[in-house]
Structure formats: C-alpha cells, structure tokens
A and B are shown apart, each in its own frame.
Chain A
Amino acid sequence: MGDNFESLIIWGAVYLYAVITILLLTAFIFNKEKLLNFVVYLLVPAFILHSTVFFMRWNMTGYFPANGEYENAVAEGWFGILFTVMLFLWKKGLRGVGLVTVPATLFFLGYGIMKNPEVLPHGAALKSSWLVIHVMFAQFAFGAYLIASGLGLIYILKDNKVRKKIESTFYNKFPVLPVIDETMFRFAVFGFIADAIMIASGSIWAKDLWGSYWSWDPVEVWSLVSWLIYGLTIHLKVTMGWGGRRLAWILIFAVLGIVITYWGVDIVVKNTQHAFTVSAL
C-alpha cells in the first residue's frame, strides 16, 4: 500500500510542478502578472505533497532520505521549494524565483523516479550520525544556491527592462534592484556557510569511514571547487564591490558546479568513493 500511495503522491507533486513550470514560463514570456499570482495557489499543495513523500521516506527508513538517486532528488528539490515558499511568504514580490527552483525540482524528481524509487537497503557505510548533518547541510546549501541563482535571473530580467527604460507593470511588482541584489547575496552567503559545514562534517565522517579526512575523491574535489567559486564570489562582492549584474550572472551559473557535484560526478566517474551503492561495505 505504502509504495502505491507514495507513488501516487510523488506523481501528483510532479504533475503540479509541471503545470507550475508552464505557468511560470508563460507568465514571464507574456508578462502575465495574474498567472504569477496563481502559481502560489498551486505551489503550496505541490509542496505539501512533496513534503509528505520526504517525511514518509524519512519515517519509513529511519534515516534522512539520502540513499540513492530518488531519495536525493526528493530531498534536494524539497529544500529548494521550501526556500521558494518561504520567500513567497516573506516578500511577495520575489515569487518569480520559482522560475528556476520549480523546473529544477521537476527535473530532479523526474530523474530520481526514473532511477530507483523503491526503498533500498541502507548500506552499512551510510549508518552514521554524520549522514544527517552532512547531507542535510548539502541540501540546505543547494536550496540556498538555487534560490540565489533564481534571484540572479530575476535581477537580470528586471535590469534589462530598467536599462531599456521599458515600463513594465509585471516587473514593477518585483522588488527594486538593490533588494534583489541583497537577497541573492544573502542566499549565496547562507549556501556558502551551509556548504562549509557540509565539507567539514563530510571530512570528519570520512576519517571514521575511510580513514582520512581528504582523499581528493572526484566528489570531494568538485565540492571544494564549487565552494571556492562561491567563496570567490563573496570575496569579489565584499572586497571589490562586485554586485548587480556581475554578481547575478555569476550566481546564475555557479549553481551548475553544485549540480555537477551532486549529480554529474556519480554519472561520469566510476571511481568515486561516494558511490555508496556500489561497494558491499
């Protein structure tokens, strides 16, 4: 019963995210403000369905959902949407951020469902208290970076209108550019700190599991590279005053580093220690 019920709920969330994606794209392409407002009414039920699956999995396995592509997809998307909903509640004007987070979540869930939605046995390596800290902060960082990327996109779109002196009631509903600039930087900072905790906790866990804090594993290197990219971005903003469009463009693309770390390395590289599903122990 559990499997069918979970499958029903997750597909419900997927369909809702698909509809929201279409609505968001339409809203942005045709500057339809009403559609953007309507999205909120769909996103909340979609998030409730998504949360049900997230917590059901956690309850069912007794561990934070991080075992296999499906659970990772559910958790990653969940944090992204959680931040989106929080932004909706905090600043109504920032609801357009879903333009990045919702399609990304839709893509992740689709990939996860295709791979292995069944409950997998929890490998001995994953039985550690560090798993929750490491993975939760990784997802938290990803969610924050995804929001920063979405805000970067909104900044660019709004700034284009401002530069061309085009009066748009659609874009006027978004906060003024300095507020978007500050908010995207704020999320980049949150992501950076969460990412730092993820790397440090992962390193401590690795010492107990594999015997060394750092072994230049491809996943480790990519996570370091992604963290350094955000570190460099923050450094440029804080010390050299990089903001506005430059910051927005960097944040739009920097999230790709995280996507590669979480998804790409496992697909391309076969010799990573982080492929927990491969090893017997």
Chain B
Amino acid sequence: MFYDVAGALKRFYRFFRSAKMTAIIITALLLLFSSGLIIPQKIFFQSKVQYDEWKAGNPILSWIIEALRLNEVYVAPITIFFMSLFFLNLIVVISQRVPLILKKAYILRKNVPLVDIEAVKNDPNVRTFIIPEDNTKDLPSKIKSFLKKRLWSVIDGDSSNAFIAVKNRYSPIGFLFFHLSFLLCLIGGLLVMYTRFSGELVLTEGQEFNADIEAFRKITRDPKIFKALPPVGIFLEKVVPQFAREKATDLTVRIKVRYADDVRNEVIKINEPVTRGALSIMAQNIGVSPLFVLRTDDGKEIAGGYFSLNVFDGEEDSFEFENIPYKFLVRFYPDYVKENNKEYTLSKYIKNPFIHLTILKEGLVVYEDTIGKGHGAKFDSMSISFDDIHYWVNFVMIREYGNIPLFIGFGAGLIGLIMRLILYQKTLRVYVENGMQGCRVYILGQSGYYRYSFMEEVERLVKSLEKEFAGKAQLDILGPRRI
C-alpha cells in the first residue's frame, strides 16, 4: 500500500489557501499578541536588575517563559513562525485570487460570464415589468444608456438583448490592494528593522556634536546593513521650554545642523523633528547642566565642568569628578523660594536657580546645604562653586530606510478597504424579451454585501425604469415578484 504523497500535498495546499487557514493564523497571532499583555515582557522592565528581581521571585514560571521566549513574545520564534505563515498564506491567497478578481472586475473580457437567460428568468429574486410595443424600439440600448447615466458600467454578453450592468466595477481589486498592503508593510518593516540606527545624544547649550559615534550616550539600535552613519554635525544653540502648571507645554530647540557640506539653522519642537534624507533628529527630553568648579582652599582650580543631571522634575541626581573621592548629590530649584524653613520652587522656569548640595565621602555626609548660582560651598580643604547653568537636550537620532513602502502600504490598505467594503460591487443581469404586446424586461440584482438594502435599491431602480419607458404602470402579468 502506497501513501498518496501528491494527493496529501494537494489537500494540504487546498487547506493552506483556504479562508479557514487564514482565520486560524489570525486567531493564533491574536492569542500571541494578547499574551504579551499578560506575560511580563523584558522591554517593559525599567532595568535588568528589576527583571532579575522578578525572575528570582518566580523561578519556575520565569524558566518556562524564558525557555519559550515568551518574555519577548513579539519576536519569539513562535510569533515569527505564525507571522511567516500569515504572509505565506497571504501570498498564496493573492496569487490564487488574481484571475478570479480580474474576472470579477470584468477585466479578463474572454471570461465575461454570459447572461444565462433561463436562470435569470427563473430566479425567485428577479424583477420584471412590461414595456408597451410603441416604446420598444432599441429598448436594450435605451436601458443601457439609462443605466450608464446612473454610473453603471455595461458589459455586453453574447446576446444583444441580454447584458450585465455593474456598479463599482473595479471593487474586487480592493482585495488585492488590501492584501498587498500587508506585504508592503512587511517590506517596509523589514527594511526599517535592518537599516535602523538609533542613538541617544545628550548635548548642553553651546555644545557641539561632530558625527562621533563615541559621543552617543546610548546606541539603542545598531543597523545590520548600511552601517555607515550620515556625516551629520549638530550645534545646540538655545533651548526654550514652556510650562503650565508644572507640565511642559512646548519646547523650542534651536540648533545648527551640518549635513555633508550644507549648514543650516533649524528649530526642533516636540512632534517636529528635523530631517535630512533618511535621518531624523528629534528632541525627546530636557534637563539642566549646572557648571561646577572645584577649587583648593587657596582658590586654585582642580576640576570643573557642566554636568547633565536628571533633576528637573524634583528628582535627586549625582555626579563625581575624576580622581576626586567625593560624591555630589544634587536637588534643583529653578525658581527658589524659602518660606518658614521650607524650600520649594515657584515655577519650572530658571529664574532664581538654587541647588541643594549633599557631599559624601566614603558614604558619609561632609556637607549639606542649598546654594544659589554664583555661590560656593566649603568642605574639607576644598570648595565647590555653582557658577552657571544651561539646559541639556536628549536628542534621538534615527536613520532608517523603508518609509516609502510603509506609507504606500498604509495608503493601499485604506484604499483597498474602502473599495472592497464601502464601494462594493453591485451587478444587474438584464434581459429584454420580445413579446406580442411589447417587451418584458427582467432584472436580477446581485451584490457582494448588504444584499437586503441592495434589493431595495433594485426596487427603486426598476420603478425608475418603468417610469422612464412604460409611462404609467403597466399591468404586470407575472408579478412583480417580491424579493
């Protein structure tokens, strides 16, 4: 006994291209995506330490999740597998449906279905009426003109008395647009994934960046292809934030951008990045960089510099000087006020900047007080002064290709949906039967969706046709048959 491999493959292929298979794949993807909202995902942990703490608390669960890589479910092998199946299914379905779609849109003329007169006449949904003899000259042509005026495309069959009228003739092509849009988004997505460089760059007002990869605070994505970075330079001139009730309501960042030999002044705002080709530069966060200078007791400068600190929202941050065994903790008051021994800030605007400075040596506090700009603090045999303050900006630089297929994909998907589901195809099969007392017109309507409301539309159309050609309503021997 031989196993029919070819037959089995054929059966599998038939199942693979079926609507059921598509439904199964979409359901599987739905479950996987949803699981990412329940199972803790690595990307949502603030730090590795936090993730390790969670792991330690749930050793067995985390082992299972890690083994199946469900903690990175959106890139897990099982998700990639179902995504691949989805796109394979899409390609198979598209290739299989193309001839059918062209036929449905009446583009493949040789495949135009002939009007089966008997089937039309005997269909229970057919509408019929009589045109009196004196009005029957060139009746099929007159009906065709009538329909064409109402935006129906007329497709002739093999009989001069029978034809098809179609509204939204090309609607079936919407299927191709919609399904191809997924492939375009896939191409765009893959291009973005493989060519994307993204890095975070912190610059203080007055500071310059000269295409030096080492200057990035963090490289968040390294491209797999097109590794060379564009020759870009940035000079941060000025930062102007606006606040309302402690909330940042606007941000204007003035920069000078050098791209190859082209140097231009630009303004970056939130939601308004600066772009150069495939490169975009955006400002994502701001903070303050106070200038601290460390001196000996006799006033000799030991060290100094602007330190970009995360203290703008009232948090505490720290900094250290190289080879100096002290740690400096800072809290910041942009518009300092002290009332009843309570320190606070009137606003987030830097009007009267003060810092609360705590100096530690080997974990012990050696100094703690609040000092204003231009003042200093003495500790051990040294002093530190708070001489100046500027804003820093966390720029995100992204270079990626693939936007064009993505945008075309979005557009094609939308056009496809509208063509397929709103401008859906409606068909009329019309047959004009010559008789002794005049002509009997048979009209059979069919539509992709919303059949009930389409039948109402056919009723209205038939009434208009009767009014146009039959004058006042004629005695209808057969009906009209109700739908």
Contacts and interface: CB of A to CB of B under 8 A. Distances in A.
A193 B418 contact: yes
Interface stretch (B57-65, B105-113, B146-154, B409-417): B409-417
Given A124-B248, A182-B453, A209-B270, A240 B19 contact: yes
A222 interface: yes
Contacts of A248: none
Interface in A141-177: none
B26 A213 contact: no
A128 interface: yes
B245 interface: yes
B273 A208 contact: yes
Interface string B133-162: 000000000000000000000000000000
B26 A232 contact: yes
Contact of A178 (B251, B285, B452): B452
Contacts of A271: 44, 46
Interface string A223-238: 0110011011011101
Contact of B413 (A185, A196, A211, A234): A196
Interface magnitude class on chain B? 35 or more
Nearest to A277: B247
Contacts of B26: 228, 231-232, 235
Given A211-B198, A239-B19, A200 B282 contact: no
Q: How many of chain A's residues touch chain B, expressed as a range?
A: 35 or more
B210 interface: no
A127 interface: yes
Nearest to A237: B449
Nearest to B407: A204
Contact of B282 (A182, A196, A208): A208
Nearest to B43: A216
A124 B448 CA distance: 46
B389 interface: no
Contact of A211 (B20, B245, B396, B449): B396
B23 A235 contact: yes
Contacts of B282: 208-209, 211
Nearest to A175: B452
A182 B450 contact: yes
Nearest to A189: B421
Given A213-B406, A232-B27, A240-B19, A225 B244 contact: no
B44 A123 contact: no
Contact of A281 (B43, B285, B452): B285
A225 B31 CA distance: 9
Contacts of B23: 232, 235-236, 240
B250 A127 contact: yes
B421 A234 contact: yes
A262 interface: no
Interface string B216-255: 0000000000000000000000000011110111110000
Given A124-B251, A271-B44, A280-B312, A200 B30 contact: no
A79 interface: no
Contacts of B284: 210-211, 281
Nearest to B287: A280
B80 interface: no
Interface string B453-472: 10000000000000000000
Given A185-B450, A208-B271, A216-B74, A121 B251 contact: no
B33 A225 contact: yes
Interface in A95-144: 120-125, 127-128, 130
Contacts of A221: 33-34, 36-37, 74
A122 B30 contact: no
A64 interface: no
Interface centre among A185, A186, A205, A212 (most CB of B within 10 A): A212
Nearest to B31: A225
B192 interface: yes
Given A221-B36, A234-B421, A281-B286, A121 B271 contact: no
A193 B271 contact: no
Given A235-B22, A281-B286, A193 B452 contact: no
Nearest to B41: A216
A22 B20 CA distance: 43
Q: Nearest 4 pairs between A and B by C-beta?
A: A121-B244, A239-B19, A124-B270, A128-B271
7 contacts: A124-B251, A193-B417, A196-B414, A208-B271, A216-B43, A234-B421, A280-B285
Given A189-B421, A212-B398, 6 more contacts: A127-B269, A185-B450, A189-B422, A193-B421, A211-B284, A229-B30
Interface of A: 120-125, 127-128, 130, 178-179, 181-182, 185-186, 189, 192-193, 196-197, 200, 203-205, 208-214, 216, 218, 221-222, 224-225, 228-229, 231-232, 234-236, 238-240, 265, 269, 271, 280-281
